[in-house]
Chain A
Amino acid sequence: MIRVLCLAAVLVLALAAPAAAHTVTAGTDLRIAQTIAGAEVTVVVKGTTRVPGPLRIGVIAYQPVSGLPIGLEVRSVEDGRTVTGTAQAAANPQYTQLQVERTGPHELKLSAGNETAVIPFRVLVERDSAGAFLIYGGLFVAAVLLVGGLLTGATARPGRAMALAAGAAAGVTVAAMVIVFESQVPAPPPDGAAPAPAPTTSTAEGRPYVQARMETVPAQPEAGEEFTLRVDLVDGSTGRPVDDLTAHHEALAHVVVTSEDGRYFRHVHPLRTAPGHLEVRLSAGRPGRYLAHAELERENSGGQLVAADFTVGGPAKASAESGTVTESGKTGAPATQAGTTVTPRLQPAVPIAGRPTTIDLDTPAGVRTWLGMTGHLLIRGQDGRFFGHVHEMGAPGSRVRFTFSFPEPGRYLAWVQYATADRIVTVPFTVNVTAPEAK
């Protein structure tokens, strides 16, 4: 009996619906990286087990911030009820508790400085499984009837004992049937879940492509002046704004902006300002041509890469960054480990096009997961026509290791990024890839 109950418990756990994108349910947090007020942060929304219930929101900072308050506003898209609060971004943030009254679609509005982001998400609460009710109900009835049957049998009333035993058998059969067949029947979705077809009827995989336009405001930024990089997303089949981006590696979009020579490097996470519109503020100290690469992923689809370029005008500003100085406090800015020069080790030392190359980099103690991974390797072809993003999947240790097959011979610019307790470290380097020997 205990074994059966354990099995039932395991099945009930296994039947819990998988968490979809942008949903918060107890035990499944929503994590979204944002570049806001010049800071690189990850907003964490922890789920609730009930409604009305508490929704806990924290903002993790990945660089030194002294008292960066982030305004929070959670709004139910159904009834419009809004609750507000404030979170302080910190390496180990305090969580602000906001009360949600219902499940279903909500919006989280973040504001800091004069920037605002609106993140759509769903509050889900696990429903009691009807299957679990039947399993436990059936077993309970069986147990009661079996005891009844034994007692009745002991008092020598075979007819009634038989009826009770049959009832017990029915109870056990119901429980067993549900245990066996429930796995083939879709579990009820959590309360507040987005409508979805039954898994068996969903044959379509992958949504239409995103038609993306990236542009700066103003169209030609001045060196040293703040500008906005806008990403406008339109569905290639309907012409409507694309508003179904998943939190892919903990961000709606990962945008890497580099100067043509690679000395300027920013890895940022734009804010959703309206359906199909993302924005991030940047500034660049030197005039010249800049390249922007954006990675994003629609719901139930694969990842997509969008590329654009823009020109920064005007004379260079004194604060012009070089690729190897420490620029703490600036978003995604490159930095070296204090007082050390770290060079990645390549194997083979001269990579061959089309063959796997491993890249190792020693890391200090205290590396922490950023964007769901221990380390990130961003690769750009010299001319900007190739862009790659590789992950170190292992747990933080004394090094990060990446494997990548450079597609063609030539010169590549590369940056390894990882997060320590108080900053994001960026290590730039270049790779010269040779052609495989002709046979």
Chain B
Amino acid sequence: MIKRWHAVAAAALVIAAVALYVVSRSTAAEPVNLTTTGSRYTATVLIADPAPGQVTVEIKVSKGDADTVALSAVMAEMGHSTPEISATMREPGRFVAVGELFPMSGVWELSIRLDGPAGEEQLAVKTLITE
């Protein structure tokens, strides 16, 4: 009798684990790590904790000597756009910007305006921001 009870419990555990997996699959907010290449620069956008409100965005420039990086965002679905914020160079090719880029959850297009001896170029990546 005890063995039968164990079997039922094991089956219930398996079912619970599967249910948890299926539910959690759609809700996890993962860090943003996107790369985009234009004719002059290659930029990688890293956001460890993407969410509406204040965010810290790291930009790694792996092609082209950018000396200025500025970020702004557009939510095409609603027609929202946010002011441009300047990124601070931490070391050559590594920039960090802190600001309120995504006022609400949704799909945002992050514009990256890069400038340097090679000239100016505007690149963009799209990312889903959730609460």
Chain A residues packing against B (C-beta within 8 Å): 76-80, 105, 130-131, 134, 159, 162-163, 165-167, 169-170, 173-174, 177-178, 181-182, 185-186, 188, 194-198, 201, 204, 207-208, 235-240, 244, 298-300
**Complex CA distance for A71 and B19, rounded to whole angstroms:** 51
Which residues in A have their C-beta under 8 angstroms from that of B77?
204, 207, 300
Contact of A76 (CB < 8 Å), options: B19, B37, B128: B37
Extra contacts, 6 of them, besides A162-B7, A166-B8, A186-B26 (Cβ < 8 A), are A162-B3, A162-B4, A163-B3, A167-B10, A170-B14, A181-B22
**Chain B residue at minimum C-beta to C-beta distance from A79:** B37
**A207 to B77 Cα, complex, angstroms:** 5
Closest-CB distance, B118 to chain A (whole angstroms):
14
Majority SS at the chain B contact face: mixed
Is B11 an interface residue when CB atoms closer than 8 A count as contact?
A: yes
Docked Cα-Cα span, A207 to B22, in Å, equals 32
Looking at the complex, which of B51-59, B78-86, B89-97 is the stretch in contact with chain A?
B78-86
Bound-state CA distance A81–B5 (Å) is: 59
Contacts of A236 in B (CB 8 A): 79
Q: If the complex has contacts A80-B37, A197-B106, A238-B81, are A185 and B26 also in contact, measured as CB distance less than 8 A? A: yes
Contact between B36 and A177, CB atoms less than 8 A apart? no
A-B contact count (CB 8 A): 103
- B37 contacts A195, C-beta separation under 8 Å: no
Shortest C-beta distance, A182 to chain B (Å), equals 7
Contact B26 A174 (CB under 8 A): no
B contact residues vs A (CB 8 Å cutoff): 3-4, 6-8, 10-11, 14-15, 18-19, 21-23, 25-26, 34-38, 42, 63, 74, 76-81, 105-107, 126-128, 130
Q: How far is the CA of A163 from the CA of B42 in the complex (A)?
A: 58
Give A134 to B80 CA distance when docked, in angstroms.
41
24 A-B residue pairings within 8 Å (CB atoms) = A79-B35, A130-B21, A131-B22, A134-B18, A162-B4, A166-B4, A166-B7, A166-B10, A170-B10, A170-B15, A174-B14, A177-B18, A185-B23, A195-B107, A197-B128, A207-B77, A208-B78, A235-B74, A235-B76, A238-B79, A238-B80, A244-B76, A299-B76, A300-B77
Task: Determine if B19 and A130 form an interchain contact, defined as CB atoms under 8 angstroms apart.
Answer: no
Pick the contact of B74: A188, A238, A300 (CB < 8 A). Answer: A238
CB-CB < 8 A to B14: which residues of A?
170, 174
Q: Which residues of B contact A105 (CB under 8 A)?
A: 36
